[in-house]
A = this chain, B = another copy of it.
Amino acid sequence: MNRFPFATYLTSNTDLDETMIHELVHQCMNKSVDKGAYLLRQGETCEYSIFVEKGLLKQFAIDDQGKEHILQFAPENWIVSDRASAYFNQPSEYFIQAIEDSNVVLFDEAFILQLAKSNASFLEFNHRQLHNHIRQLQRRILQLQSATASERYQHFVKVYPDLLLRVPLVQIASYLGITPESLSRVRRELAQQNRTILS
């Protein structure tokens, strides 16, 4: 049995055998990060993909007016990274910050590429990850283009079911691309609808 969430994740998502996974997990860097600590800052090149074993991270940009725009949250068993920055060795637009005390596993692009070269199953896994990432980003764009505040919020609840109690509402609003006031209104309306249905 795997004691490490990252090992469990690799077992579930690749065909790598236990010995190989054991070796890999020991090649990666484990890190404890305090709430508020940064794992990437805008302007730095992203060096690592970050697997969250425990805790919660957010990936966000800050615009010229100093306003924060959240691209994604990464709770347990999520991987977060700016893969384009890592791959092209270019400055990232993003910050990655812990919003809870967290335990993470760090692995770099060289690690991924080397493993992908030597192992067809990992190559396939990495490919699936990239395509899945594209799928998620496309959905996010479509949502920002077309969904109402209420649809965005309901989608958030589905994607991140356990984050409602862990993330301040102002950050959820930032992720959704709506004002905190709109988010409050939507939550009030949905609560009212639920009360109506139940009464």
- Chain B residues with CB below 8 A from A132, complex form: 84, 88
Known: A134-B133, A138-B71. A144 touches B177 (CB 8 A): yes
A26 at the interface (CB under 8 A from B): no
Q: Is the CB of B145 within 8 A of A134?
A: no
Q: Is the CB of A131 within 8 A of B177?
A: no
A87 at the interface (CB under 8 A from B): yes
Q: Is the CB of A141 within 8 A of B130?
A: no
A176 closest partner in B (C-beta): B145
A16 at the interface (CB under 8 A from B): no
Please state the number of chain copies in the assembly: 2
What 1/0 flags go to A132-147 for Cβ under 8 Å of B? 1111011111101111
Bin chain A's interface residue count: 20 to 34
Q: Is the CB of B69 within 8 A of A131?
A: no
A63 at the interface (CB under 8 A from B): yes
Q: Is the CB of B93 within 8 A of A146?
A: no
Within 8 A of B (CB), among A50-71: 61, 63, 67, 69, 71
A83 at the interface (CB under 8 A from B): yes
A65 closest partner in B (C-beta): B146
- Chain B residues with CB below 8 A from A147, complex form: 63
Q: Is the CB of B141 within 8 A of A71?
A: yes
A47 at the interface (CB under 8 A from B): no
Query: A: which residues have CB within 8 A of B?
Result: 61, 63, 67, 69, 71, 82-84, 87-88, 93, 127-128, 130-135, 137-142, 144-147, 177
